Amino acid sequence: TSTCSDNGIVAGVQSQYFPSTLDREWRFYCCRYAKRCPYSCWKTSDYPEYHKEEAEMIVPGYGYFIRGAQTTFSGVLRFPLQISLWTD
């Protein structure tokens, strides 16, 4: 699980895949958000269904922010990348 600290929100995501170890490293670009504390949080399960397919995460509407993400790795099975959202 990775979440932006200091009440931050995710402003960008980058990943790098390592074929030799079948592993992926994720990095999140976080920015501070000081107006309010997060509430009404939940996780989504939007993920690609096929190998090398791109996923697209669309925030539900104005006032929602991405706070963090969580994923589970398996060399055989596909697991979702869960995104934590909150409203301002």
pLDDT digits (tens, 9 = 90+) for 46-59: 555 555 666 566 66
DSSP code for 80: -
pTM (2 decimals)?
A: 0.48
Q: How confident is the model at residue 38 (pLDDT cuts 50, 70, 90)?
A: low
How high is the pLDDT of residue 28? Answer: 73
Q: Which two tokens stand for residue 52?
A: 């090398």
Distance CA 24, CA 9 (A): 22
Distance CA 68, CA 1 (A): 7
Within 10-78, residue ranges assigned H as helices are none
Q: Cα torsion at 11, 7, 83, 31 (round to 10°)?
A: 10
pLDDT in tens, 49-86: 555 666 566 666 667 777 666 666 666 555 555 555 55
Q: Provide the β-strand partners of residue 52.
A: none
Average pLDDT over residues 6-27: 75
Within the chain, residue ranges assigned H as helices are none
